[in-house]
Amino acid sequence: MTFSSPRTLLLTLVFAGVLALPAEAQRTSGAVGLGGQIGEPSGLTLKVYNETAPSYDFLAAWSFTDDFFFLNAHAQWNQDITAENVNQDFEWFFGPGAFIGVADRSGSTDDEAILGVSGRIGLNFIINQQFELYGQVTPRISVIPDTEGDVGGGLGFRYYF
């Protein structure tokens, strides 16, 4: 079998990967959740879930107030919240992370690369084993080009497949 372009090869690999997924989507160790987040910042989120180890959360987002596009990655520990007479699944999460981004500085023709560290804390509401809603707060400290603090956060959803 030959492929006429890298694009054809990539589409074939993605299609084969989707066919290899289990027929029943579940939020179990190794499951991948894909979704969106609105807030400051807003963007697309991908999470690799682990029950007994840190999960890994990635966010490609745009800050509308700062004209800032960035990629954010976090290790994330999930802890169940148990309450008497509550039949829903809630958990809180926390973890360290880092971000890299590009800021569009007004009055300048050059964009500015930004690198920094961040943390995350929030709540998950697991609707079923395929779908979760979350709210989170993300304090960030940029270290390149300047040391500057900021806090972001948002509400989002993920579907696990």
pLDDT tens-place string over residues 61-78: 998 777 889 999 999 999
| Mean pLDDT for the chain overall | 83
Interval 110-134 mean pLDDT = 92
Whether 95 has a pLDDT exceeding 80, the answer reads: yes
What pLDDT sits at residue 54?
96
Residue 153 neighbours by CB under 8 Å, 6+ apart: 39, 40, 122, 135, 136, 137, 138
What pLDDT sits at residue 19?
44
What pLDDT sits at residue 23?
42
What pLDDT sits at residue 103?
83
Residue 2 neighbours by CB under 8 Å, 6+ apart: none
CATH class of the domain defined by 6-160: mainly beta
Amino acid at 47: K
Interval 81-106 mean pLDDT = 83
Whether 12 has a pLDDT exceeding 80, the answer reads: no
What pLDDT sits at residue 39?
94
What pLDDT sits at residue 156?
97
Query: Which tokens is 98 given?
Result: 């880092």
Best CA proximity match to 20, nearest among 32, 5, 9, 29: 32
* Distance, CA of 119 to chain centre: 12
Interval 119-137 mean pLDDT = 94
For the chain, give every domain's residue range.
6-160
Q: How many CB atoms lie within 10 A of CB 138?
A: 23
CA distance 67 to 102: 9
Interval 92-111 mean pLDDT = 83
Interval 42-48 mean pLDDT = 96
